[in-house]
Structure 1
Amino acid sequence: MAEHIRIGDITPRVHYAADGALTVFAYPFPIFEPEELEVRIDGLPQSGGYAVRGAGASEGGTVVFDAPPGAGRHVLLRRVLPIRRVTDFQPNGVLRAKALNDELDRQTAILQGLRDEIASTVRAGPGDLPARLVLPDRGGRANRLLGFDSLGNVTAVPRAPVLEVPFGGAIPRSVEDKLAERLTARDFGAMGDGISDDGPALQAAMNAAAAAGKLLEIGEGSHRTGMPLVLPGAAAGLIMHGSIVYAGFGGEAALTIGDGAASRNQARLYQGLRVLRASISDWANEADIGLLLRNLDACTVEIRQVEGFTIGVRTLGDELGFEDSTLHLGRLVNNRIGLDIRTNSAAGWNNSIRYIGGHFANSGSVHPAVSRFGVRFSCAPGAYPRHNAHAFHGPAFELQRQGTPGMVDAIPFLLEAGDERGIVARNIRMEQCSPYVARHAGGANDCLYEVAYVGTYAFTGAAIDYAASATRAGGTVVALHQAAAAHGSPRLVAAAENVRRRAFRQTIDTADGVGFEQMAVLSGNPAGPPATLGGFAFAGLSQMALNPDSVGLPTSRALAFVVDCGECKEFFLAAEGSELRPVVMQFDAAETVLGEASRVMFSNMNTLWAGSPSHFWEGNADLDSLVGGAPINRLQRVTLHSNARYAAIGVRGGSAGAVLKALRLYCSPLHAPALVYGGSRKWGVREYTGSAGFDLASLGPGAAATQLVAVPGIAGGDFVQASYTALSAFVELVPTITTSAAGELPGTVTVQFRNRHPSTAIDLAPGTLFVRAVKPLL
């Protein structure tokens, strides 16, 4: 084999007329690299959809298309080389033959390309006499025709006829120039009668608009097409007064606007877009798309109607991004997915888009057994997943959930890209939808859905459905149904503004335990282990360090508020301190602890299941851990499982130096969950009481009598008081703490009655003896 390409005397271009079946086209000239071969179809450069083979071979190679070009389409293959040096011969260096041959081959190939281009230009013949062939200056040739004078020199002659608008400062223009201002589909033979196949005429018009950088106008009427249409991004825009009716094969995008890396598709106007399918799709193939918008940037798009496709409208960030644009949405009807917001590569993105309006609707008779969604956020495998800053204003959804309860999913928003951020939808209207405004399938964060109206009296729809694959509780629903003004003020469920001031000596669970008012103490390694709320929530345990102004929490201890979450499943946890890890325990209606199957989610961190014996769901980071230098985990939404009836929500020590100062728990103002402590519960209270019926016998002057009252949980050092319903002013009560045996609990209080009258016996009426004991603060 030769060591370098042999450059023969052959024109570096070849033309073909496609037959609709052939996919392989030969080029008989050599190229050095695949990207040096330019491929055009009907004069338009192609950025993909083919592979170049044979680069580096003297005899040339082939171009293999993924799909055969349509019959009658013109295929051009030509070599285009950049004019540049690729070698540099060093002084006194070795002059290698291969390097020299390669450089001369490349220069010869460049000269062949220039010769081919010169052959296509207007020029004088080699036997012609010299003539002046330089164009007149711009002012002398404006609005005139190019011609030749009597000597054969180039000149400019007037155009006729000419037009001039009737306003001051106007200049004469030719009819052709005036007509070329805007291209219309009818200029290329489109009929718009709903019967003729306008596909070739529409595509020819779109190609011309792209080639000239013009705005294309499609007039009134129904423009039926049997072929998918593409308006390249080089076109200045599109205005539609009629509709495109797609009657071609399935699995295609009926109308694609914009292209890939060859064009930025920037600052374009697309108005009145209306794409209908001749027959409704079977909803099985997601490649069946009505309107595909690719890589738009700073564009304005008005969509009047897209109907009958698997995906109605798809916005796609592909080789470049889809961003900073405004979409006015009209009727998106009888599509399984009305709007699909998607990325298709790691280099593409789909961010910062505004959506105004939109009626997402389905007929009750269209594929009643198939789930449907209004707006979906998605990405191809390996593509960029972080769609962010999408704002919807006033979308309406009438998706037909097919029965009550719904037999199929009919959900307005589906977030399945995995990492969506800042999706905000306001003034949402829902009719015949599932009882969820959104489904989150990944780690979406900071999403807000404001539901203004739901067509059910119960106002179902004010919730988010978290799929099994979801990792974050990243959505908030604001239901504008009752007390709308209260939505700006979340309800405070419980607050320990100074946890240190709540600490008291607690001896029910351990002799030297430390308890906290209104709060339960949790252990990371409880003995047994217990199985119910009463066993897991301790009144007080040791190992918590009481600093002057804070509480030190070891990693094996947690402080939590216990709530009745039968109605409310969404809470908000705020903590002040350092190195604190959020924890949650859940219990069913029988107060049995729930396991790993009943998942808990936080808003700004993932949750981990600690397993037995603690049964903690806990965050994977401390609340004050830094991400990019900022403590983004400090504010946490807590989403409980639907099985939960009771929950302990709080913090544990994330490390040995953890310190807790304050803890607060909030929820939506639509709920008023009860804080569970005291009463029949042993935790969270300093005060204990007991009572007994009593009939005091007659007491002589200075005499005394005693009565025992059981008060479980008391211990020496507790503050004790006693009262009697029939007490006389001359009878003194002296309560003291006793135990059934030394150091054992529960205990009793001995109340002594003593007659202080110096001379008279006292006989009190029967009554009730009350005893109150208070644990001392620490």
Structure 2
Amino acid sequence: MAEHITIGDVAPRVQYVADGVQSAFPYPFPIFAPEDLEIRLDGALLSGGAVVSGAGRSDGGTVSLAEAPAPGTRVTLRRRLALARLTDFQDNGILRARTLNDELDYQVAALQQVAEDVAGALRLGPADGGALTLPARAARADRVLGFDSLGDVTVFDRGTGSLGVPFPGGVPRTVEDKLSERLTARDFGATGDGVTDDGPALAAAMAAAAASGRLLEIGEGTFRTTQPLTLGEGAAGLTMRGAILYAGPAGTVALTLGDGAAVRNAAKRYEGLRVLRATISDWTDDGDIGLLLRNLDASLVEIRQVEGFTIGVRTLGVERGFEDTTLILGRIGNSRIGLDIRTETAAGWNTSVRYIGGHFTIGSTVNVNTDRFGVRFSAAPGAYVAHNRHLFDGPNFELRAEGRPISGIPFLSEVSSRAVWVRGLRMEGCSPFVARHTGAAQDHVYEVAWASQAYEVDVDYAPTATRAGAALRRFHQAAAFREATREVASVANLRAARIRWSNTEWGFERLACLSTNVAGTPATIADFALPALDGYGFTDRGVVLTGGRGLGFVVDARGCRDFALAVDADAPRLLVMGFDAAGNLLSDGGVPLVLASGQSMAWNATARWWQGTADMLDATFARPQVVRLAPQVAFAIIGVARIGADYEVRAMRLACDPLHAPPLLYGLPDLPHGARALVAEAAWDPPSLAPGATSQINLPLAGARPGDFASASYSLATSGVVFLAQVGATDVVTVTAWNRSGVAIDLGAGTVRARVVKT
């Protein structure tokens, strides 16, 4: 050693976690020679392949390994000295300071090594005196080591009940009793090696848990089973750290939690559930289910992974309800139906459940020609169908259907589900529909946080659907804008909006008058959207619809499919008429062209319109009314009609999604309804008028009636000539040019215009 080293207060041990790149590791403590440094990789002693530099330096040195350890390897460097005296001083010899310092440094380094070793040993605390001595070998053989009432070491017979716990008030009991608090599958012989058939052992463990009311733990590993498994209602719950690998017969449930019939499976806790199918199902048998949860109430379920089944997870109400439970969903993959929310009997229900997360995913090569759905609401024939109040928070769907002639839709409702709310939904490679409704589902709210192609996602209503009313919040496409409501038309006071069309007929601003029995052979919008009819009654606040009468807004629906109608009336009945792009009536062709929220729509062959099967009453949650038009409907009349009894209508309003601005059609040459003023014009060259002379022209004007206010004008300067107008006969306006000056006037050729305003 070139210089004397100093042994400082530095621990003679250092550790590193390798990153796969670093091969040189410093040590901050001194060593006397390279062989004084011990090198371990993940606890294994390294006997070669390293160069140690810095021996004899006070600040330590560096170890350079021949190869960088793999990422995550724990590298341990520590000083290990031989605890021996290596030198001796001669009697009456020269005592050199350097030699003495080296000896003292070695002793200090050795003491640091001993202190490091002792730090990891079990020892008495500073406040405890004396020593703990093990009983003799023969005395402790096949016994349990513990502590007596004084805290001294002693032994206990494994068969006695004298084993205590180190806490005040602890009750002594046997080791077996203590260990039985934790019931595990391995207690019954399960191996978890992924090869052995652990089915019988798992079944025995589950039977024991159900019989004893204990919590069952399935530990780390893969537990292969060739038989279906059931954990009965009697068990307190289940904790899984490993996975069940199902290799049993197809068409069965791999793992069932809870009993059927009228048993209430309440206050359970199932954690870490993981059920895998040994081979992916071909999705042809709905009985092929990974995890079945029956009659759960006020429970907590954590599902980590279920993969490879026709139905991944099914929650089921059987003679009892499945309710008030929280499901934490992990990965549910390669299943035609990821989560099936179902009822089995008329007395079983499935309601008020919360779902957190969930990644519903399908592999790119799995059953590529088969429809797939993330979540399904279903019921067995004759079972309870009003599934309600299901809340989903942040589900994720990757269904691999985009660009394929199949359906890959996150939600499928085949029942009368209500109050299903989905927040923060993600769609990746799905069909352009967030949901498909095939029954009477309504009051669903789907909040799309992100869709991979930012497509115009929608709700798909099957031909069998009898309700509309799903609210779709597309937060991936201008969310704040689409949340607003655009008013298409409003008649705030029907009494004030009435138009006296003739002595017996009445019309209404912006509205078409409708009849249940239009004369002749009507075929187009103009034939049905009448400007006026008789038979309306009036009150101080509104109009009374009597037999055969209705009122409606006429809209251009080519760019908008959904409308919302709000009506202030006693018991209004919804009506909708559909027309194609040429304005021709679309009749019932076996497929509903109109869906409505809160009620079904029925075809009235006499009136030739779709009408609600129930009145729009608050008691039936049918006001305001949402109307969904089929794609072939280009124009529509949306309003109300008198079906069963006369009723008063006071106000009407029509709205739509603010993304659209559909035109309201009225007051047009081919659709004159809804306009209070009528106009006509014609070319005219009046003769030269002598002082006080007049000249007249009759202008045809459809809708003009005697008694209407009429006015006229001329396109040229008319100084000295006054133009007067009157409705002399039905559909004719007579315009008179009167020379009031004292000289003859010749106006020349121009255009005469007449305007009729109805009261």
Q: Is the 8 A contact 2:437 2:465 kept in 1?
A: yes
* Residue 370 of structure 1 pairs with residue 370 of structure 2: yes
1:673 maps to what in 2? 662
Aligned match for 1:460, one of 456, 461, 464: 456
Residue of structure 1 equivalent to 2:410: 412
Q: Corresponding residue for 2:734?
A: 749
Which residue of 2 is the match for residue 710 of structure 1?
Answer: 700
Aligned residue for 2:147?
A: none
TM-aligned CA deviation for residue 708 of structure 1: 3.8
Superposed, which structure 2 residues align to 1:136-155 within 5 Å? none
Percent of aligned pairs with the same residue? 50
SS class of match (1:313): strand
Alpha-carbon distance in structure 2 between the residues aligned to 1:218 and 1:231? 12
Residue 68 (structure 2) aligns with: none
- The residue that corresponds to 1:300 in the other structure is 300
The size of the alignment, in residue pairs, is 600
* Offset at residue 372 of structure 1 (A): 0.8
Aligned-residue offset at 1:713: 2.3
Tell me, yes or no, if structure 1 residue 611 matches structure 2 residue 600: no
Instruction: Choose the corresponding residue for 2:550, options 558, 561, 565.
Output: 558
Deviation at 1:580, TM superposition (A): 2.2
The equivalent of 2:82 in structure 1 is none
C-alpha distance in 2, partners of 1:757/1:388?
82
Shift in Å, 1:546: 2.3
Q: CA deviation at 1:697?
A: 5.0
Aligned counterpart, 2:520: 528
Identify the residue that residue 111 of structure 1 maps to in structure 2. Answer: none
One-letter amino acid of the counterpart of residue 159, structure 1: T
Secondary structure of 2:186 counterpart: helix
Q: Retained in 1: the 8 A contact 2:162–2:172?
A: no
How far did 1:177 drift? 2.4
Does the CA-based 8 Å contact 2:262-2:319 persist in structure 1? no
Q: 1:652 corresponds to which letter in structure 2?
A: A
Q: For residue 752 of structure 1, what is the amino acid of its counterpart?
A: A
User: 1:769 corresponds to which residue?
Assistant: 752
In structure 2, what is the Cα distance between the partners aligned to 1:773 and 1:753? 20
Q: Is contact 2:499-2:506 (8 Å) kept?
A: yes
Checking the alignment, whether the CA contact within 8 Å between 1:163 and 1:175 is kept in structure 2 is: no
Q: For the pair shown, which has the larger CA radius of gyration, 1 or 2?
A: 2
Cα deviation 1:619-675 (Å, max 9, x = unaligned): 122223x8xxx3533332212222111111111113443211111112222221111
Deviates more, 1:383-392 or 1:324-333: 383-392
Q: 2: CA distance between counterparts of 1:765 and 1:415? A: 74
CA distance in 2, matches of 1:525, 1:551: 20
Q: CA deviation at 1:568?
A: 1.6
SS of alignment partner, residue 176 of structure 1 = helix
> Per-residue CA shift, 1:734-772, capped at 9, x if unaligned?
223334xxxxx4313323132x333x4444464432221
Q: Is the aligned partner of 1:571 residue 2:538? A: no
Kept after mapping to 2: 8 A contact 1:522/1:537: yes
* Alpha-carbon distance between aligned partners in 2 of 1:595 and 1:551, rounded to the nearest angstrom: 29
2: CA distance, partners of 1:211 / 1:547: 74
1:581-607 deviations in Å (ceiling 9; x for gaps): 111111111111111125222211222
1:104 corresponds to which residue? none
Give the TM-score, by structure 1 length.
0.74
Is the aligned partner of 1:641 residue 2:630? Answer: yes
The Cα shift of 1:726 comes to 2.2
From 433, 440, 465, give the equivalent of 1:436: 433
Q: What is the SS of the residue equivalent to 2:265?
A: coil
Q: Is the deviation greater in 745-754 or in 230-239?
A: 745-754
- Larger mean Cα displacement after TM superposition, 566-575 or 583-592: 566-575
Quote the residue 2:419 is aligned against: 422
Deviation for aligned residue 1:163: 4.1
Change (3 A) 1:578 1:212: same
Whether the 8 Å contact between 1:622 and 1:654 is mirrored in structure 2 is no
Please show how residues 27-42 of structure 1 align to structure 2 within 5 Å. none
Gaps of 5+ in 2: 1-157
The C-alpha deviation readout for 1:275-301, integer Å capped at 9, x for no partner, is 100000010111100001111111100
Q: In 2, are the aligned partners of 1:500 and 1:546 still within 8 Å (CA)? A: yes
Match of residue 623 from structure 1? 616
Alpha-carbon separation, structure 2, partners of 1:202 and 1:735: 99
Which SS does the other structure have where 1:500 is aligned?
A: coil
Partner of 1:534, secondary structure, is: helix
Letter in 1 for 2:331: R
1:469-497 deviations in whole A, cap 9, x for unaligned? 21111422121133322444322211111
Q: In structure 1, how many angstroms separate the alpha carbons of the residues matched to 2:420 and 2:211?
A: 38
Q: Which amino acid aligns with 1:448?
A: V
Secondary structure, counterpart of 2:204 in structure 1: helix
Higher mean alpha-carbon deviation, 644-653 vs 437-446, is at: 437-446
Contact kept, 8 Å, 1:161 with 1:175, in 2: the verdict is no
Confirm or deny: 8 A CA contact 2:696 2:734 kept in the other structure.
no
Is the CA contact (8 Å cut-off) linking 1:554 and 1:655 kept in structure 2?
no
**Residues 164 and 170 in structure 2, CA contact (< 8 A), matched pair in contact too:** no
For 1:721, the equivalent position in structure 2 comes to: 711
Q: Is the 8 A contact 2:676 2:757 kept in 1?
A: yes
Query: Residue 178 of structure 1: SS of its match in structure 2?
Result: helix
Aligned positions of 1:218-617 closer than 5 A: 218-261=218-261, 263-401=263-401, 403=403, 406-416=404-414, 418-457=415-454, 459-461=455-457, 463-506=458-501, 512-597=504-589, 598-599=591-592, 600-612=594-606, 614-617=607-610
Q: Cα 1:262–1:320, aligned 2, differ >3 Å: closer, same or farther?
A: closer
CA offset at residue 158 of structure 1?
9.4
Give distance in 2, aligned partners of 1:579 and 1:324.
37
d(CA) in 2 for partners of 1:434, 1:402? 6
Contact 2:514 2:551 in 1 (8 A): yes
**Distance in 2 separating the partners of 1:752 and 1:686:** 25
Determine the C-alpha separation between the residues in 2 that align with 1:414 and 1:656.
38
Report deviation, 1:414: 0.9
Q: C-alpha distance in 1, partners of 2:588/2:549?
A: 20
Q: Which amino acid aligns with 2:490?
A: A
- Residues 338 and 364 of structure 1: CA distance in aligned 2, closer, same or farther (over 3 Å): same
* C-alpha separation in 2, matches of 1:673 and 1:750: 38
Cα distance change, pair 432–631 in 1 and its aligned pair in 2 (3 A) = closer
| Offset at residue 388 of structure 1 (A) | 1.1
Q: Are the equivalent residues in 2 in contact too, given 1:227–1:254 (CA < 8 A)? A: yes
CA distance 1:723–1:750, shift in 2 (3 Å) = closer
Question: CA offset at residue 226 of structure 1?
Answer: 0.9
* Alignment TM-score, normalising by the size of structure 2: 0.76
How many angstroms does 1:732 deviate by? 1.8
